[in-house]
Amino acid sequence: MTRVYRYVVPYVIILATINFHTHIRAVSSVVALGANLLCSRVPSLTPRQRRICTRAPDAMVALSEGSSTGLRECRHQFRHQRWNCSLAGSGTFSHVVLVGSREAAYVYAVTSAGVAYSVTAACARGNISTCGCDDRKRGRYSASGWKWGGCSADINYGIKLARKFMDAREVEGDARALMNLHNNNAGRRAVRSTLSTECKCHGVSGSCTMKTCWKTLPPFTNIGKLLLQKYKKAKPVIVHKSRRRSPPYLKLRRTKRRVRRPGKSHLVYLQKSPNYCEMNPSTGSLGTVARRCNRTSRGADGCDLLCCGRGYNTQQYTRKWQCNCKFYWCCYVQCHTCQEDTEEYTCK
Ligand SMILES: *[C@@H]1O[C@H](CO)[C@@H](O)[C@H](O)[C@H]1NC(C)=O
Ligand SMILES: *[C@@H]1O[C@H](CO)[C@@H](O)[C@H](O)[C@H]1NC(C)=O
Ligand SMILES: *[C@@H]1O[C@H](CO)[C@@H](O)[C@H](O)[C@H]1NC(C)=O
């Protein structure tokens, strides 16, 4: 049963975070002193993760916030789908077992991306003592004549720490571990590929005689969207065990003869996804019973698709809200109450 537990780890980290934050705040001035104690109290860290925690306790907040950022984005991107990333927050872990499906691939990629992102952002804010801005190009000029300045995001540091911390969960060395490691890496690469260059002009009254530029992180949702594209094009893989001494690795399932490895930025999966229509704890499907659907939509959130053809219930209710608010001098606000009869549809 260690298996089941391991897939659950991203969510466990989040719960642990709550504890962690309270500890952090309480002991912020004695972090170094209390690191051992602190890190031993965060449940469900692997021994390697615990060592990272002890060495860089000030990075732990960013690390755990990163995985919640990733999961929040997952819920957002999948809010209209049968599988809505509804794995965290229920407090019970019995149903969060995801098989090695493309959904699991997305979860791993987006949480790893979240961690790399959040560490990089925390470095730039000065919240982690061992990193800051990427100053390697600072002061140099680009081919088109502008100068590197400001605070460039130190994505290399973010990626390195995210790799150390997130990959430290994969201790089994089996097919699923290879899959998770691949998707973790794809997630981190997605962060790097979305970095953009931001510039500022200097010079008399807005003339751009002098321009300084720096690398900056985009809003995280851009990364969530990019990974959603990769999720749609995820590649099925199997483990290739070579007869020579090299360790097993993943290869694309749909190739005729030649052994081809998946691209490093592609998401990969080992198993076909369930249809997520019915509840099935062994695949990580909660089913769509009682999910809200849209009667007129032909998309995935429409009642036909979302309810898997089982039909839907209609509830009438009266929606009330404050409207026509007026401000009276001085000082109160008066509003009317507006109401409207509406219907809500939920899957049978
Ligand atoms: C980062 O540092 C700022 C002040 O420099 C502080 O307000 C903020 O809470 C810190 N955030 C984290 C996640 O530690
Ligand atoms: C996601 O789906 C599950 C059941 O399919 C439901 O219980 C949950 O409320 C949904 N979450 C959101 C945020 O809609
Ligand atoms: C339902 O879907 C239609 C068509 O896609 C859309 O115009 C409408 O805003 C949706 N309604 C709700 C409540 O989301």
Q: Give pLDDT tens digits for 156-183.
A: 999 999 999 989 888 888 899 999 999 9
What's the mean pLDDT in 274-292? 89
pLDDT of res. 5:
33
Which of 115, 43, 105, 120 shows the shortest CA–CA distance to 232?
A: 105
Which H/E stretch holds residue 317? strand 312-328
Atom 6 of ligand 3, residue of closest alpha carbon = 297
Domain ranges of the chain: 1-41, 47-286, 303-347
Is 296's C-beta closer than 6 angstroms to any atom of ligand 3? yes
Is 232 close to ligand 1, i.e. is its CB under 6 Å away?
Answer: no
Predicted local confidence at residue 41, as pLDDT: 76
Q: Are 189 and 197 in contact (CB under 8 A)?
A: no
Q: Is the pLDDT of residue 46 over 90?
A: no
pTM for the predicted model, two decimal places: 0.83
Nearest alpha-carbon partner for 122 in 148, 165, 167, 154: 154
Phi-psi map region of 222: left, alpha, beta (phi>0 left; psi -120 to 50 alpha): alpha
- Report whether CATH 3.30.2460.20 matches the domain 303-347: yes
Give the pLDDT band (50/70/90) at residue 38.
Answer: confident
- Residue that has been written with the tokens 């002009």 in this structure: 201
CA of 128 to the centre of ligand 1 (A): 9
Q: Whose CA is nearest to atom 14 of ligand 3?
A: 294
Least confident of 69-78, 109-118, 211-220, 274-283: 274-283
Pocket perturbation via mutation, ligand 3, pick of 80, 291, 293, 296 by most ligand atoms within 8 A of CB:
296
Q: Is 102 in the pocket of ligand 2 (CB under 6 A)?
A: no
Per-residue pLDDT at 337: 93
Sign of CA dihedral 44, 180, 276, 288: positive
Mean pLDDT on 299-316: 95
Complete edge-to-edge strand list for the sheet that includes strand 235-240? 249-252, 235-240, 268-269
Tens-place pLDDT, residues 245-259: 778 889 888 777 778
Helix intervals (H) in 195-275: 220-232
* pLDDT(146) > 60: yes
Q: Is the pLDDT of residue 102 over 80?
A: yes
- Residue 60: its pLDDT value, please? 87
Across residues 32-37, what is the average pLDDT? 62
Q: Whose CA is nearest to atom 11 of ligand 1?
A: 127
**Alpha-helical segments (H) within 42-154:** 47-55, 60-77, 102-125
- Among 29-38, 107-116, 289-298, 313-322, the range scoring the smallest mean pLDDT is 29-38
| Pocket probe mutation, ligand 2, options 291, 307, 312, 345, max atoms within 8 Å of Cβ | 291
Q: Is the pLDDT of residue 147 over 70?
A: yes
Region 29-44: mean pLDDT is: 64
Amino acid at 150: G
For ligand 3, pick from 79, 297, 301, 345 the residue to mutate: most ligand atoms within 8 Å of CB: 297
Report the amino acid identity of residue 316. Q
Q: What is the average pLDDT value for the chain, to the nearest integer?
A: 84
Residue 199 has pLDDT above 80, yes or no: yes
Q: Could you tell me what percent of the chain has a pLDDT over 70?
A: 86
Which of 121-125, 130-134, 277-281 shows the lowest per-residue confidence on average (mean pLDDT)? 277-281
Confidence of residue 240 (pLDDT cuts 50, 70, 90): confident
Assess whether the C-beta atom of 344 lies below 6 angstroms from ligand 3: no
